[in-house]
Amino acid sequence: ECYVQNTAREYAKIYAAEAEPLEGFGEVPEIIPIFLVHRPANNIPYATVEEELIGEFVKYSVKDGKEVNFLRRDSEAGQKCCTFQHWVYEKTNGSLLVTDLQGVGMKLTDVGIATLAKGYRGFKGNCSISFIEQFRALHQCNKYCEMLGLKSLRTTHQKQRRATSVKSKNLPNSSTIKKTVPKKAREPRDFISSEH
């Protein structure tokens, strides 16, 4: 949990360095750090600790991509979170996606990362590869994507779908290919620390 969130935090810092200088971009989402605490005298010797976020807790993106969230589409924070996802996806050539972005305003916590099956630069995320596919299919670029010069995923996804459908016609037993089912999205935390 710490490794995933703090890895996503490093990507968010690089994103901020590129986005903040752009005229009109404004504030950038921040993924708060999470720390692992060792408590040897306790029955449960390890716990995670992070800053308490006070205010309305909002899910700006959901792991499985199925939830319709108007705050994601219509709010500045939501649009910038979607742009952050698109930016990470493009920077890693479609190999990694930060997902399950949620928090209060521009402060985010409890994020997830999806990678291709082989991982990305030695890192394997905690979410199914299907989240990458769903993001590619469902993402709608906004003005922040345009400000960063990100390429539209619509044409890329449509080309890949056509190529895949042509290939699958030539494959024997293509109906036996396994489909992965995403895990249920976690509920937001109501507390500062969680014990593991």
β-bridge partners, 108: 31, 103
Active site residue 64: no
Q: Edge to edge, what strands does the sheet with 107-109 contain?
A: 30-31, 107-109, 102-104, 58-59
Of 64, 74, 100, 190, catalytic: 100
Cα(71)–Cα(76) distance, integer angstroms: 9
3-state helix, strand, coil in the chain (%, to 5): 40, 15, 45
Three-state DSSP class for 15?
helix
Task: Return the active site residues.
Answer: 100
